[in-house]
Amino acid sequence: MLLRILIATSCTLLLACSREAPPAAASAAPVYQFARVAEVAFHPERSAPAAVVGKHEARLSAEVAAVIQALPVDVGQTVKQGQVLVRLDARDARLALERAEAAVAQAEARLALAEAQAARARALREQNFISAEALSLRETEVAAAAADLRAAVAQRATAQRTLEKHTLVAPFDAVVRERRGQVGELAAPGSALLTLVSARELELSAQLQPQDVPSLEDAVFPAPTFVTAGARHEVRLVRISPAVNRESRSVEARLAFVGAPPAAGSEGRLVWRDPRPHLPADLLVRREGRLGVFVAEGGKARFHALAEAQEGRPAAIDLAPETRLVTQGRHALQDGQPLE
């Protein structure tokens, strides 16, 4: 009985081994998905630090050495053009002006005397009572007296100008941003006493990264906006400096406010939309050291390199909106590979 069981088992095993093994499952074909550029592209938002500054900014400095007698304005105060901001002790200047006026009066008297003597000499010369040399001497005295008068007048004008320098007035409508001088202090020539910022002609100063300059230059809609303290102010580009700041490696852009500007000194951010369409960073692939995307053309994958693309950042594209991009299955693709 046991022998029969062993024989039956052996036959069963031989039959099982003699059967053909089933064929291995064929490898699954790659699955590709596509999307048009218009469906996946977007316009990223750019921003840069910005502050409201006056188109005109002036540092009022003393031109003469004198004690500050009056300084009737303070930081944050609004002043009008021509308003007196600083008065310096002008007693010495007034005395110098008085001396100059006395010198003018003296020169005028000398000129009048010289002209009278010259006129008398001409009359005597006509009667041959004096020589020609004597007449020439009188005429020379007139010319010298006239020159002395002109010098005295110039000296008086200089003294008058020096007196005027003891009073500093606002050159334009402005806001006092900084005050350095104090009443009773000695103001030295060239020492800044006040800093003024234009109160009316305000601009926005933004610090841009060099790579953001083209996008701001071409930004049209929506218009660039200055965001500060929860408020938004529409602005328009006026100019961009061609020079790069050595410390911050940024360039300055100046923009004008379309509506009413915020207060001078307000800080915030300039925000705008990049007019160039961009692709998300996760759609980019690297081939032969270059970043780009795969485009479906004629049933084949074509690698389109993006010159400005950077790893991990959205990339600007120059493709038509109807261009078909390979969005799934792109990582194993090679240029020219069939997509069927």
Domain ranges within the chain, ordered by starting residue: 33-43+278-328, 46-55+200-273, 57-86+166-197, 91-164
Residue 79: pLDDT band with limits 50, 70, 90: very high
Region 47-53: mean pLDDT is: 94
Q: From CA 43, how far away is CA 34, in angstroms rounded?
A: 20
- Do 46-55+200-273 and 57-86+166-197 come out as alike in CATH topology? no
* Percent residues over pLDDT 90 in the chain: 69
State yes or no: pLDDT of 25 exceeds 50. no
Residue 110: pLDDT band with limits 50, 70, 90: very high
pLDDT for 18: 41
State yes or no: pLDDT of 304 exceeds 80. yes
pLDDT digits (tens, 9 = 90+) for 187-197: 999 989 999 98
Work out the mean pLDDT of the chain and round it to a whole number.
Answer: 88
pLDDT for 29: 64
Domain spanning 91-164: which CATH class is it, in words? mainly alpha
Region 275-281: mean pLDDT is: 92
Fold adopted by 57-86+166-197: OB fold (Dihydrolipoamide Acetyltransferase, E2P) (2.40.50)
pLDDT for 222: 85
- CATH numeric code, 46-55+200-273: 2.40.30.170
Contacts of 127 (CB under 8 A, 6+ apart): none
pLDDT digits (tens, 9 = 90+) for 201-216: 889 999 999 989 999 9
Residue 45 pairs in a beta bridge with 273
C-beta separation of 64 from 88 below 8 A: yes
C-beta separation of 291 from 311 below 8 A: yes
pLDDT for 57: 86
State yes or no: pLDDT of 339 exceeds 90. no
Count other C-beta atoms under 10 Å from residue 38's C-beta: 12
C-beta separation of 200 from 173 below 8 A: yes
- 194 Rama sector, left if φ>0, alpha if ψ -120 to 50, beta otherwise: beta
pLDDT digits (tens, 9 = 90+) for 219-264: 878 899 999 988 999 999 999 999 999 888 999 999 999 999 998 8
* Percent residues over pLDDT 70 in the chain: 91
